[in-house]
Structure 1
Amino acid sequence: MSSAQGTVLLDGKAVEPETYEGDSITVQGAQGNPVTGEEGRFTATGCGLWVQLPSLASGTHSLKIRGRSGDFSTGVDYALTVAASSS
């Protein structure tokens, strides 16, 4: 986790990620899953950079996520549409 870096932009404005160093988690794997390939329970470590987004107003929003650690990198762009509440 010490080398993890990431950025998040919500509608062009930075959202600061929080670092979670690692907690033990139990996962129920399905046959053919991309982690173990096997069905059954296993214990792993859940860690990473996480963001909590504020409530979004009705309308369209863009969310851009970039991250890297060591030789791994990832990036994703979301186009979000929030509908008005009917209540």
Structure 2
Amino acid sequence: MASATGSAALDGKRLDAETYRGEPIQIGRFAGSRATGGDSGFNTIGCGLWIQLPPLEPGAHVLEIRGESDSLRVSADYALTVDAGRG
């Protein structure tokens, strides 16, 4: 983690990352998700550079993530589509 750097952008606007260096975190339960299990999710240890997305308006969005630590480099681009909510 000491050498980790990264960036993220949503629709071309930079997002600030938070650094977690092995801190306890709680993963909430999401309906229909096998990964979050149980009635209340689970506790684990999180480390890395994390971003939190703001609520997204309906329509198309692009999320770009870049990171590196020592010889490891990560690059991911996501095309997100948000449907209008149902009343």
**TM-score interval w.r.t. the shorter chain?**
0.7 to 0.9
Q: What secondary structure does 2:22 align onto?
A: strand
AA matched with 1:11: D
Matches within 5 A, 1:53-64: 53-64=53-64
- The ranges of structure 1 where at least 4 consecutive aligned residues each deviate by more than 3 angstroms after the TM superposition are none
Q: TM-score under structure 1 normalisation?
A: 0.73
CA offsets, 1:12-39, max 9 Å, x none? 00001100011368xxxxxxxxxxxxxx
Q: What secondary structure does 2:85 align onto?
A: coil
**Residues 45 and 71 of structure 1: CA distance in aligned 2, closer, same or farther (over 3 Å):** farther
Q: What secondary structure does 1:53 align onto?
A: coil
Q: TM-score under structure 2 normalisation?
A: 0.73
CA offsets, 1:26-56, max 9 Å, x none? xxxxxxxxxxxxxxxxxx8531000000000
Distance 1:16 1:47 in 2: 16
Whether 2:14 is the aligned partner of 1:14: answer yes
